[in-house]
């Protein structure tokens, strides 16, 4: 018998066994037992270490500055701006006790995780089932909060709805549907259950916005697009996966904003379109898990929350430990629907509290900075953007008004004031006559516009009706100018796909300068603006521009395993980033499909699209009091 090897664990040596001992059966049995015991000890120490590392070590990926192509940001809300610095640490008593609390919470989560590990698969399944049943029962409880009257549903959509009529447009629409099928089928085959797909490597993919979860983000994000396109078998397949596998009792630290817009928004839209209760139940289950993120001294939520422990924190790169405007300001639509559907005032109160707090704050030049510290309630760096870190905050002010059947005049006024300041300080015309929206950085205008900012063209058009001083024509015109500029940013590339950011400086117009701004990751914003502009003007150029984008995506981003982003839109031989983003199915393909459909498909009088393109019906709040609204006034 050979001598067991020395184990270099923590520098301690396990004593070697005496060679003679092995020749006696009795000793052998004893030794096996102790060997097993030692192995067991080592194993449990290792597991403890792993968990310790997971909870206590800082997550480097969140502290790194943006690395151009190794992992392009899925959403710029989670992108660290290059110049962002954290303040030096200054530990007050309050902070120390907060840290103690976080440590204690982590300990508890660790303990719970260990206990979970000890349980059998059956026990775990039973536990999940109990939790699910509890939420379903809470929803039905007679004496609990009651949902409001059923939403008067606009005309539902089906495969024949939205038929554009003329054969040429129909052929184009069919092509977009085929692309959706290719994206879905590829994910179904190679990435099923994972959050996203790597279409080149043909395997699952995920980013830090979903923590270490495997929650099928693509399935949830794609559901309503499948439904609208009449891909009913695929929709059913997705529904089945959700019924059997989607579980939020996972030890994963996720982005509150991303989970809200993709999951809660996606589930609610799927519920409204299909009427299947399961989607509502899941949306409410998940929302419950997000609520602890609001437990901050000010009620401004943390950027991230651990779904299991409820412990929240902010991105390491955000200015002075701040929360991000576009993240905590993009919850309103979904949370109002949650209160409407459950009768639980908590969701509505949380988002209205954010609004009230912002209304009381001073704003430099009338602009909203992108960063707000949730502990002190003070602004971080004075950066303002209508692109990444700011964008959907403005979008949700307008949409809160639209979604309330235009009764939420407070939201409309806040939107109008914000847009007025943006126009005054951020919107300019280039020498070549292109209207662009720059970024405000500590009193200085950076003449750079992001792909993300291009959504604003659609927003201006959508907000034109109802604008103060009868400026509807002006805002529709502004929307058209932004659409034109963003189209130029596509047209001035080799691939006819838009870069992540483009400049208007030193003779340059609508082109990217830095290598790490030349990528296209299947983003929707430019197409989103084409679609809104098409709905409001029916100018055929928007369909033409949309079709150019379809052809470019199909030519340069399509691969056998799905669709991939590309790293350089100015190169005739681009390399792939190997990610099929879930928003490609949720947004890009949906907006394209709508662009080539008739206006009867999801009319804008009845539906309001959340920032991930999930349509939610208008709530006729004129004669209804939302639970919780009494205490807000
Ligand atoms: C999407 O997740 C949403 O549109 C979000 O508001 C911003 N970015 C991405 C797509 O680019």
Q: Is 125 a member of any domain? A: no
Which stretch of DSSP H or E encloses residue 269? helix 265-274
Q: Is 11 a member of any domain? A: no
Sign of the CA dihedral running 198, 203, 206, 207: negative
**Mean of per-residue pLDDT scores for the chain:** 85
d(CA 424, CA 509): 21
Whether 566 contacts 556, CB under 8 Å: yes
Place of tokens 């909870």: 55
Q: Please confirm, yes or no, whether 178 is among the known catalytic residues.
A: no
d(CA 175, CA 583): 19
d(CA 366, CA 506): 29
CATH number, domain containing residue 414:
1.50.10.10
Atom of ligand 1 nearest to the CA of 391: 6
Low-confidence ranges of the chain (pLDDT < 50): 1-35, 37-38, 49-74, 76-91, 159, 633
Place of tokens 């929709």: 235
- The CB density around residue 45, as the number of other CB atoms within 10 Å, is 12
Q: Is 447 a member of any domain? A: yes
User: SS3 for 363-411, per residue?
Assistant: CHHHCCCCEECCCCCCECCCEECCCCCCHHHHHHHHHHHHHCCCCCHHH
User: Separation of 77 CA from ligand 1 center, angstroms?
Assistant: 8
Task: Give residue-wise pLDDT tens across range 210-240.
Answer: 999 999 999 999 999 999 999 999 999 999 9
- The CB density around residue 431, as the number of other CB atoms within 10 Å, is 8
Write the burial class of residue 102 (CB in 10 Å: 0-12 exposed, 13-18 middle, 19+ buried): middle
d(CA 188, CA 237): 9
The helix, strand and coil proportions of the chain, stated in percent and rounded to the nearest 5, come to 55, 10, 40
Task: Give residue-wise pLDDT tens across range 234-273.
Answer: 999 999 999 999 999 999 999 999 999 999 999 999 999 9
Q: Is 8 a member of any domain? A: no
Q: Please confirm, yes or no, whether 525 is among the known catalytic residues.
A: yes
d(CA 621, CA 627): 11
d(CA 248, CA 309): 11
Q: Is 493 a member of any domain? A: yes
| Residues within a 6 A CB radius of ligand 1 | 75, 392, 452, 523-524, 583, 587, 611-612
264 DSSP assignment:
I
Whether 578 contacts 201, CB under 8 Å: yes
Sign of the CA dihedral running 415, 417, 419, 425: negative
d(CA 499, CA 503): 10
pLDDT at res. 283: 98
β-pair partners for 306: 253
- The CB density around residue 222, as the number of other CB atoms within 10 Å, is 29
Q: Residue 417: which domain range?
A: 168-617
Q: Is 7 a member of any domain? A: no
* Set 253, 395, 481, 500: catalytic member: 500
Tell me: is residue 30 an annotated ligand-binding position. Answer: no
Whether 529 contacts 507, CB under 8 Å: no
Both tokens of residue 325?
């405007």
User: Separation of 624 CA from ligand 1 center, angstroms?
Assistant: 32
Q: Is 1 a member of any domain? A: no
User: Separation of 76 CA from ligand 1 center, angstroms?
Assistant: 8
Q: Please confirm, yes or no, whether 500 is among the known catalytic residues.
A: yes
In DSSP notation, 591-632 reads HHHHHTS-TTSS-TTTEEE-TTS-EEEPP-GGG-PPTTHHHH
pLDDT at res. 342: 96
d(CA 124, CA 511): 53
* Set 327, 439, 525, 578: catalytic member: 525
Query: What is the SS3 assignment for 542?
Result: helix
Q: Is 69 a member of any domain? A: no
- The CB density around residue 210, as the number of other CB atoms within 10 Å, is 24
Q: Kindly state the percentage of the chain with pLDDT values over 70.
A: 76
- The CB density around residue 227, as the number of other CB atoms within 10 Å, is 22
Task: Give residue-wise pLDDT tens across range 456-468.
Answer: 999 999 999 999 9
Q: Please confirm, yes or no, whether 391 is among the known catalytic residues.
A: yes
**Alpha-carbon Rg of the chain, whole angstroms?**
26
Mutate to test the pocket of ligand 1, among 72, 256, 261 (most ligand atoms within 8 A of CB): 261
Number of independent structural domains in the chain: 1
Kind of pairing between the strands at 383-384 and 435-437: unpaired
Place of tokens 């003779």: 507
User: Separation of 167 CA from ligand 1 center, angstroms?
Assistant: 32
β-pair partners for 566: 520, 576
Mutate to test the pocket of ligand 1, among 72, 73, 74, 75 (most ligand atoms within 8 A of CB): 75
Both tokens of residue 557?
């981003």
Kind of pairing between the strands at 439-441 and 444-446: antiparallel
Residues 6+ apart with CB under 8 A from 262: 217, 220, 221, 582, 583, 586, 612
């Amino acid at each position: 018998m050979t001598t067991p090897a020395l184990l270099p664990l923590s520098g301690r040596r396990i004593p070697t066994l005496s060679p003679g001992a092995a020749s006696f059966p009795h000793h052998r049995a004893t030794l096996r037992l102790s060997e097993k015991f030692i192995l067991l000890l080592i194993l449990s120490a290792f597991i403890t270490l792993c968990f310790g590392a997971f909870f206590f070590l800082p997550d480097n990926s969140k502290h790194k500055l943006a690395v151009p192509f190794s992992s392009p940001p899925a959403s710029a809300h989670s992108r660290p701006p290059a110049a962002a610095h954290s303040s030096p640490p200054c530990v007050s008593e309050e902070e120390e006790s907060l840290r103690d609390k976080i440590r204690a919470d982590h300990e508890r989560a660790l303990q719970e995780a260990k206990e979970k590990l000890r349980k059998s698969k059956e026990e775990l399944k039973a536990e999940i089932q109990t939790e699910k049943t509890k939420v379903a029962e809470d929803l039905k409880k007679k004496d609990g909060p009651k949902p409001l009257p059923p939403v008067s549903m606009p005309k539902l959509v089906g495969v024949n709805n939205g038929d554009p009529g003329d054969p040429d447009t129909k052929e184009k629409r069919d092509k977009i549907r085929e692309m959706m099928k290719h994206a879905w089928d590829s994910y179904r085959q190679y990435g099923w259950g994972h959050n996203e797909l790597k279409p080149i490597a043909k395997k699952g993919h995920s980013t830090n916005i979903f923590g270490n979860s495997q929650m099928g983000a693509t399935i949830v994000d794609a559901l309503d697009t499948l439904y609208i396109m009449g891909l009913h078998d695929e929709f059913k397949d997705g529904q089945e996966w959700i019924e059997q596998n989607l579980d939020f009792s996972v030890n994963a630290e996720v982005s509150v904003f991303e989970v809200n817009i993709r999951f809660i928004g996606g589930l609610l839209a799927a519920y409204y379109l299909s009427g299947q209760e399961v989607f509502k139940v899941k949306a409410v289950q998940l929302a419950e898990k997000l609520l602890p993120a609001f437990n901050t001294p000010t009620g401004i939520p943390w950027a991230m929350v651990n779904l299991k422990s409820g412990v929240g924190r902010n991105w390491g790169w955000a200015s002075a430990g701040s929360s991000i405007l576009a993240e905590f300001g993009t919850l309103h639509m979904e949370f109002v629907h949650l209160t409407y559907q459950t009768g639980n005032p908590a969701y509505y109160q949380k988002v209205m509290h954010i609004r009230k707090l912002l209304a009381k704050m001073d704003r430099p030049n009338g602009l909203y900075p992108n960063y707000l510290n949730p502990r002190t309630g003070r602004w971080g760096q004075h950066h303002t953007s209508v692109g990444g870190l700011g964008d959907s905050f403005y979008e949700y002010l307008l949409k809160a008004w639209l979604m309330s059947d235009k009764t939420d005049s407070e939201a409309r006024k806040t939107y109008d004031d914000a847009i007025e300041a943006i126009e005054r300080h951020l919107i300019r015309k280039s020498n070549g006559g292109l209207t662009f929206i720059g970024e405000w950085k500590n009193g200085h205008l950076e003449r750079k516009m992001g792909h993300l900012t291009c959504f604003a063209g659609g927003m201006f058009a959508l907000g034109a009706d109802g604008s103060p001083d009868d400026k509807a024509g002006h805002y529709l015109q502004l929307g058209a100018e932004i659409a034109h500029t963003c189209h130029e940013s596509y047209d001035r590339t080799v691939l006819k796909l838009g870069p992540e950011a483009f400049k208007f400086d030193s003779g340059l117009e609508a082109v990217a300068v830095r290598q790490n701004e030349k990528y296209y990751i299947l983003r929707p914003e430019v197409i989103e603006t084409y679609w809104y502009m098409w709905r409001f003007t029916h100018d055929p150029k928007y369909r033409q521009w949309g079709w150019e984008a379809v052809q470019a995506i199909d030519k340069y981003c399509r691969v056998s395993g799905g669709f991939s982003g590309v790293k350089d839109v100015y190169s005739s031989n681009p390399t792939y980033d190997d990610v099929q983003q879930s928003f490609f199915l949720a947004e890009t393909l949906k907006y394209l499909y709508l662009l080539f459909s008739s206006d009867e498909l999801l009319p804008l009088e009845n539906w309001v699209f959340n920032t991930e393109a999930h349509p939610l019906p208008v709530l006729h709040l004129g004669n209804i009091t939302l639970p919780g609204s009494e205490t807000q006034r």
